[in-house]
Each structure stands twice: as structure tokens, then as C-alpha cells.
Chain A
Amino acid sequence: MARALVNIPKTARRGDVIEIRTLISHEMETGYRPGPNGVLLPRDIITRFTCTYNGVEVFSAELFPAMSANPYLVFTTVASESGTIALTWTGDNGFSQTETATIEVA
């Protein structure tokens, strides 16, 4: 499993715009880079990221080889209710990882 660093506020007031910061370890091999033997290394990247808030998708993104290794993504969402925020990265070669965090909304 890849390491992921996720930063989501643990508490928020209803209606606050909160920032979600994510970092995940992944080489993001572009498919355009020759290996030591001169042959192109096959592409191996994260292709998709989604964020759900109590099961409802609030943000998603398609990623291309031009994204840096160890993809870093920061975006926002409105703190609407207490519950679970789930982040999922999927990609080439069956890559799939989910991280969850709970948020208390008063």
C-alpha cells in the first residue's frame, strides 16, 4: 500500500469552506521515459482521484503523466454535516487506495 498524507480539519462550523490537502507516494511513471536499456518504461500513473463526503462525490480529477511524482492535490469543500470524507486514488496496474477521515461539524 502506498503511503498517503491527508490533511482535513477534524472540526468545522457548518458552511465553512474547508481545505483538503493530499499527498500520496506514487512514481507516476510517464510512459515516455526510457529505462536503463533504452526501452521506454511502460506508463504507470494514478489516473483518477475522487473525494466523497458521506458518500456523495464532491470533487474528482483525471490525472495525466504531466502530474508530478507523489501527486499533491489541494482543493476545498463546504463543511455541510458531520461524517466521513473518503479519498480514493485509482490508476494503472490496478492501483487503488482509499483514505478516510471523520469531520465533526457544529
Chain B
Amino acid sequence: MRLPGAAALTLLLASPLGAEIRPDERRSDFHQMSPETRAMQTDDTANPGMLAVLDGEALWRAKAGPAGRSCADCHGDARITMRGVAARYPAWNAARGTPVGLAGQIDICRADRQGISAWPAESRERLAVTAYVAHQSRGMPISPPGDPEMAAARERGGRLFTARMGQLDLACAACHDDNWGKRLGGTPIPQAHPVGYPIYRLEWQAVGSLQRRLRNCLSGVRAEPFPYDAPELIELEAFLMQRAAGLPIETPAVRP
């Protein structure tokens, strides 16, 4: 009864691929949510994602590793030093010769600067510290870095975005470029801008990363999701951030 009717499908079938979202029409998926879910995000005393931010703040100050150094020991007051950082990730890491996401950069600090192993993907700690760092950029426009190496990564991400995949043979773009604003079953299709990650997703009843969200959409088209931290996921993220350039960061966003 809640399955989408034939109408929703015809809509997906009928639209040709390739129409990018006009710049003046780009907007955060925040605006497609119900007033109640929007209120849950904008009121810090009601936003469950703020629990992760709070958790991250404590971890930021926690001593760790053989030298007993905290993030704060090197980076000081995150409100100042981390302001705007999330808005320009993924970034090119010259030493490693790869693009890294924000969580990946935190892994690097743990490995190289603190001498301890990275927190596992989607662990409470990794999400909390990432949320805390990203929260410092709330309200700042997404500003992807200009390195030529990043341009190449973005291009690969863009190709993935428009490639049909999975048993459903659907491209991300078929939903998010061509049919945003329409409904799939009861759910509005968003433009898919990664403005609020890590997000608190009601479906998860928890905070999760963009990669988890992307993996959900990959399962949605019945494609084998790329493993966490796979280059494809970072490239997709780099592409999506470019596509969302200028939109303000919302971390921690709430999404249905």
C-alpha cells in the first residue's frame, strides 16, 4: 500500500538523463523535509546529532596514544582552528597521493601524530569527532579545493554519478538530477547535497556518515555497495561537494 504506484515509476522511466540542476535551483534537502524534521535540526536542544557533537568535543580533549596527546594539544580551540575545514574536504593529500575525506584526515592524525590505530568506520568515536570538527563549519559555504588532482578525482566521481548501476540499472543522476522534488512512494527525492554530514538519520536512529548514506543508495538500486573508505566513495563525495559548492554546511543535519 505504501509501494510506489506505476505513476512514480513512469516518471523515472520517462525522464531523459543528463539534465544537471540549475545553479539557482540548487538547495539543501533540508527544504524538502517536513516542518517537524526541520525543527528537530535547527533547535540544538532537540537535535540528537548534537549528542555526537558533544561526545566529539570530549574526545577532542582526550589524551591518547603513547605520547598522551589530544587533538586539542596540537590544534587548540576547534572553534577557531577547525572553522571552515569541513567545507573544503575531501582534500588532496600530497604525501599519500590520494584524496582524503575529513574522517580520513582524522585517521591520518591518529596514525601519524598520535601513534594509534584509526577508529573503525562508523564507530561512535570516529563519527563523534568528525561531527564535532564539521560542526565548526556550520553556516559556512562549501568551498572545494582547487588542486588539479582533486579535479581528476571529482571527474571520476561524476562519471559514477551518471553511470547506471545495480540490478535496477539506475544512475544516481536519474533520481537526483532528473527527478528531484518528485516523490518515490511517499518520499520526496532530494537533490542529494552532502551538506550536513555526519547526519542524524531517523531511519538509522543514529548518527552516520555520508559513506553510509551513499551505501544505502547503492543498495537501493541493488548494486553491491563499495566498502567503507573505498576510493569510489571518496570520489563520489568529492563530486557531490563540488555539485553543492556554495551551499552552507549544516552539520549535524537531521534527515528522515
A and B touch in the complex (CB under 8 A): yes
Q: Give chain A's interface residues, CB within 8 Å of chain B.
A: 3-5, 7, 21, 23-25, 27-28, 68-70, 72
Q: Is B160 interfacial (CB-CB < 8 Å)? A: no
Shortest Cβ distance from A104 into chain B, in angstroms?
20
Q: Mark B21-54, 1 if CB is under 8 A from A, else 0.
A: 0000000000000000000000011101011101
**CB-CB < 8 A to A25: which residues of B?**
48, 51, 55
* Given A3-B54, A3-B55: A72 and B48 interface contact (C-beta under 8 Å): yes
Closest 3 CB pairs of A and B: A69-B205, A7-B45, A70-B48
State whether A70 touches B51 (Cβ < 8 A): yes
Residue among B46, B51, B206 making CB contact with A3, cutoff 8 Å: B51
> Per-residue 0/1 for B200-228: is the Cβ within 8 Å of any A Cβ (1 yes, 0 no)?
00000110000000000000000000000
Report yes or no: B51 in contact with A5, Cβ–Cβ below 8 A: yes
Given A3-B51, A3-B54, A5-B51: A72 in contact with B205 (beta carbons within 8 A): no
Known: A72-B46, A72-B48. Contact between A5 and B54, CB under 8 A? yes
Q: Which residues of A contact B205 (CB under 8 A)?
A: 27-28, 68-70
Q: Using Cβ atoms and an 8 Å threshold, which residues of chain B touch A28?
A: 205
In B83-115, the 8 Å CB interface with A consists of none
Q: Is there an interface contact between B206 and A23, defined as CB atoms closer than 8 Å?
A: no
16 A-B pairs within 8 Å (CB atoms) are namely A3-B51, A5-B45, A5-B54, A23-B45, A23-B46, A23-B48, A23-B50, A23-B51, A24-B51, A25-B51, A27-B205, A68-B205, A69-B205, A69-B206, A70-B51, A70-B205
Partner of A21, one of B46, B54, B55: B46
Residues of B within 8 A of A23 (CB): 45-46, 48, 50-51
Q: How many B residues have CB within 8 A of the partner chain?
A: 11
Residues of chain B within 8 A (CB-CB) of A24 are: 51
B residues near A (Cβ < 8 Å) are 44-46, 48, 50-52, 54-55, 205-206
**Which residues of chain A have C-beta atoms less than 8 A from B206's C-beta?**
27, 69
A69 vs B2: C-alpha distance when bound (angstroms): 24
Among residues of B, the one whose C-beta sits closest to the C-beta of A68 is B205
CB distance from B213 to the nearest CB of A (A): 18
Q: Which residues in B have their C-beta under 8 angstroms from that of A21?
A: 45-46
Q: Which chain A residue has the least Cβ–Cβ distance from B50? A: A5
Complex-state Cα separation, A25 to B54, whole angstroms: 11
Q: Write the chain A residue with the least CB distance to B204.
A: A69
A61 nearest CB across to chain B (Å): 17
Distance of A25 Cα from B205 Cα, bound (Å): 10
Q: Once the chains are docked, how many angstroms separate the CA of A37 from the CA of B87? A: 40
Shortest Cβ distance from A50 into chain B, in angstroms? 20
CA distance A99 to B132 in the complex (A): 22
**B residues in contact with A69, CB < 8 Å:** 48, 205-206
Assembled-state Cα–Cα distance A5/B53 (Å): 11
What B residues does A70 contact at CB under 8 A? 48, 51, 205
